[in-house]
Structure 1
Amino acid sequence: MTRRARGGGDRLVPARLSPSDVARLGAAGLRARPTRVVLSALGIAIGIATMVAVIGISSSSREQLLRQLDALGTNLLRVQPGQTMFGEDSRLPKEAVDMVSRIGPVYTASATGKVDATIRRTDRVPKEVTGGIAVQAATPALLTTLEGRVRQGTWLNAATERQPAVVLGSVAASRLGVSRTGVQVWVGNRWFTVVGILDPMPLAPEVERSALIGFPAAERYLGFDGHPTTVYERSANESVTAVADVLPRTVNPENPDEVEVSRPSDALAARAAAAGAFTNLLLGLGAVALLVGGVGVANTMVISVLERRREIGLRRSLGATRGQVRIQFLTESLLLSVLGGVVGSVLGAAVTVGYAVSRGWPPVVPPWALGAALGATVAIGVIAGIYPAVRAARLAPTVALNTP
């Protein structure tokens, strides 16, 4: 209390509490009940950790997709046959690759062709059991066009494309149980030797699930008609749109409407853009956990007010104002909530880093997510503490002191 002169006399005026005094008061109230504080803060921590981890994992996944796009490029176009005006499947001409290669900005072009054959680990496996693996003819330039890599063995060359040799996509090799080159697999009605196994190709998942043989070998051993079913090309980045416009007329001058052109990288871009769709649901679950934590903080503070009536009455009797009592309990609620928010943010960031590293992704925890998490805890602390603080301030000193 301080004395202030007024009208020739002195009167007692309550001393103002500094921010440090308020913080010490709030912390003292929390230290008196550590077990209850930990349990109440746990609800806030779980909600914040969930929200930070969801945002962080989603951002890490999106960053991985964007890095894949940067590494693989967006200048790959895929040409496939569409349908005729009568609803029948059209066909690309045998010269499609050569015709596409003549387009100025195009610097590499290749093709695959669907072969009417199945591949099995042995001839003892029923023909109906395909394992979802397609047999396709491939031109030697396919690996260069797709910027793929051979995990083991070699790619098709001028010699092996004419022989009963096969290169397996990463998924095809896994489904066949083939982990090394040199083994033989049953393709159509004869044995083929596995000469190579490819690494994954995110821009060409259809190749990952295929067994690839040379065009000449496919025609000679499997009755392939020589018509490509997919043409891949890469051109200068600034010319992709222009090349896409002329590809239908180049591949099929008579019926350009029967040709479909797509950009495989659009699928990765769409996945990156849609990465937040499922995230919203998980954020909703985190928000529910945060709300439950806020209710827990409010409940803790109400019980604290009921248990500390004599303390409140004593402070009021010694000159504390209602405003000072309100700010004391509001500070306790805020500190309790912020404690849970800080722990939850650290836990959420740790979960994000651990999960991203385990998947080989770049760990990304957006700073705005941490800022939003702390902001949410402050809001929860204030909202949860308003009612208990007002209730504490309304207690009359005489009633509070007489509480048993």
Structure 2
Amino acid sequence: MKTSHRTGAPDEAPAESRQKRLIRPGRGRRPRLRSAEGQDSGQVERPWISPRDLWTEALSGVLARPVRSALTTLGTVLGIGTLVITIGVASTAANQIVGRFDALTATSVTVVVPPPPPSSDAVPLADWRGVDAVDRLAGVESSAALAESDKTAAVQVRANDVVTPGGVSGQTLAVVAASPSLPTAVRGAVTAGRFYDTGDIDRHERVAVLGDQAARLLGIKGVADAPAVFFDGHSFTVIGILGGFQREQRLSTSVILPPTTARDRLGLDMVNRVLINTSLGAAQQVARQSPTALSPNNAKALTVLAPPDLSKARKGVQGDVNGLFLVLGLVSLIVGAIGIANVTLVTVMERVGEIGLRRALGASRRQIAGQFLMESTMIGLLGGVIGASLGVVVVVSASALKDWTPVLDSRLALGAPVAGALVGLLAGVYPALRASRMEPVEALRAPS
């Protein structure tokens, strides 16, 4: 019988050919683990956990402590909700501010008429009839001329002609002359009586209209009894009280006279200013044309006060308001992120035993870190969805109560959940790294 030179078991193949080559699903070859001496241990590296399993594990971790998870989510809800509310309310308020700016300032033009040079044949640069020419300009809704002087800027006015010893002799008020279209030009309203008309002007009637504050100072509440005011040795019958000034509020403490009466009694005749109200968008054009309409031969001598460019003003107002409230919203969001990080870190410390057991059963550091990152991201995402929804509801409700038009960028409402998830992800980085660095033996020895 032929004996073989081989003894015992058949020769084994070399180490490289004896070891199995296993393929990691979807990722190519699975590298083998090596011992401390650098030799192959024969074990295969743990496969990556699938996203579905990672999601399931994270969801189980979140639902294991529902009360704590709810409180942690509340921090993100407050942060995202505050961000959406503040930016939404800021945009809505800015829109209202700009709207009011458009309605008042952007349609107001003032033409300042300087006094003529001192000479014997000095002619006023503008007269009362020039207002009619301004009214015919395209885009002009109303206009009125005013005549003022330093001599009539502080006049002692009394409500009666009887001076009692120790009593108040009167009030120091301004006396001005104005065209009959003044109530419309100042966007005011006659609260008592009436304003003088062209008939009163043509007849040189000694009548006066008081600003509402001037009437209150003089103790005049109505004109039914035809009250009179006295100054400079003249008496004037009060036929009306003008209030609700949206332009030239200082006229509320003035005595307003017809132009002819002011010229005859006080020598107040020269027009100093012309107030013009325009339709929206026509202010710049009216500002260029009104000096020529008032004084064709001396248009360059007049000074025009026109509103600034609306587009720049609108962007400036909205930018300032949005920037202010954006800072407040980001601060709230940072507070929510700190809350997530704190609670996640506490959760890691409480689950040391679980982490050690998972590591001992074969979980890798990346799997542990991924689980806690997924948990914090889920909390942030849930808080972002709830916070964005509540923020939109609050903005719409607040706008409805104020009769405002809600202004809310749809990108903000849709991006808020993503921002919440990102905040949760960033907040969970340190706790996840802390959990992944735990050694299995030390984690299992730690008290639960």
Partner of 1:300: 343
In 2, Cα distance between the equivalents of 1:353 and 1:126?
A: 56
- In 2, are the aligned partners of 1:53 and 1:349 still within 8 Å (CA)? yes
Residues 243, 252 of structure 2: 8 Å contact kept? no
Aligned to 2:326: 283
Q: Name the CA distance, whole Å, in 2 between partners of 1:349 and 1:175.
A: 49
The residue number in structure 1 matching 2:12 is none
Residues 1:79 and 2:111 are matched in the alignment: yes
Matches of 2:159 and 2:440 in 1, distance apart?
A: 91
Equivalent position of 1:139 in the other structure = 179
Measured in 2, the distance between the counterparts of 1:250 and 1:388 equals 76
Kindly report which structure 2 residues correspond to 1:3-402, keeping only aligned pairs within 5 A, or say none: 14=47, 16-19=49-52, 21-68=53-100, 76-81=108-113, 93-95=126-128, 96-101=130-135, 108-114=142-148, 116=153, 136-144=176-184, 148=187, 150=189, 152=191, 156-158=195-197, 162=205, 164-166=207-209, 168=211, 189=231, 193=238, 195=240, 197-199=242-244, 201=246, 204-206=247-249, 209=252, 211=254, 213-216=256-259, 219=262, 223=266, 225-233=268-276, 241-252=284-295, 256-264=299-307, 270=313, 273-349=316-392, 351-353=394-396, 355-357=398-400, 359-402=402-445
Residue 186 of structure 1: how far off its partner (Å) = 7.8
Give the Cα separation in 1 of the matches to 2:158 and 2:58: 72
Q: Secondary structure at the match of 1:364?
A: coil
Task: Compute the displacement of 1:328 (Å).
Answer: 1.8
Residue 156 of structure 1 aligns to a residue whose secondary structure is: coil
Amino acid aligned to 2:109: L
Greater Rg by CA: 2
Preserved CA contact (<8 Å) 2:188 2:242? no
Q: What is the CA distance between 1:311 and its match in structure 2?
A: 1.5
Note the aligned Cα RMSD (angstroms): 4.8
Q: Given the superposition, is the C-alpha separation of residues 101 and 278 from structure 1 closer, same or farther in structure 2, using an over 3 Å criterion?
A: closer
Distance 1:278 1:224, change over 3 A: farther
Instruction: Please tell me the residue identity of whatever aligns with 1:140.
Output: P
Q: Aligned partners of 1:73, 1:253: CA distance in 2, in Å?
A: 27
Aligned 8 A contact 1:37 1:336 in 2: yes
Q: Which amino acid aligns with 2:153?
A: D
CA distance in 1, matches of 2:297, 2:270: 17
CA contact (8 A) 1:93 1:252 kept: yes
Letter in 2 for 1:30: V
Residue 334 of structure 1 and its aligned partner are, at CA, apart by: 1.7
TM-score (norm 1): 0.72
Seen in structure 2, the aligned counterparts of structure 1 residues 390 and 238 have a Cα distance that, compared at 3 Å, is closer
Does the 8 Å CA contact 1:119/1:187 hold for their aligned counterparts? Answer: no
Say whether the 8 Å CA contact 1:66–1:272 is kept in structure 2.
no
User: In structure 2, how many angstroms separate the alpha carbons of the residues matched to 1:70 and 1:267?
Assistant: 8
Unaligned runs of 5+ in 2: 1-22, 31-41, 161-166
Q: Deviations over 1:222-265 (max 9, x none)?
A: 72613333213356878754442343344345654542212358
Distance 1:226 1:264, change over 3 A: farther
Distance 1:153-1:23 versus aligned 2 partners, 3 A rule: farther
Amino acid at match of 1:17: S
2:380 is aligned with what amino acid?
A: S
Q: Which runs of 5+ in 1 are unaligned?
A: none
Residues 65 and 269 in structure 1, CA contact (< 8 A), matched pair in contact too: no
- CA distance in structure 1 between the aligned counterparts of 2:59 and 2:334, rounded to whole angstroms: 23
Q: Structure 1 residues 356, 328: CA separation in 2 closer, same or farther (over 3 Å shift)? A: same
State the percentage of identical aligned residues.
31
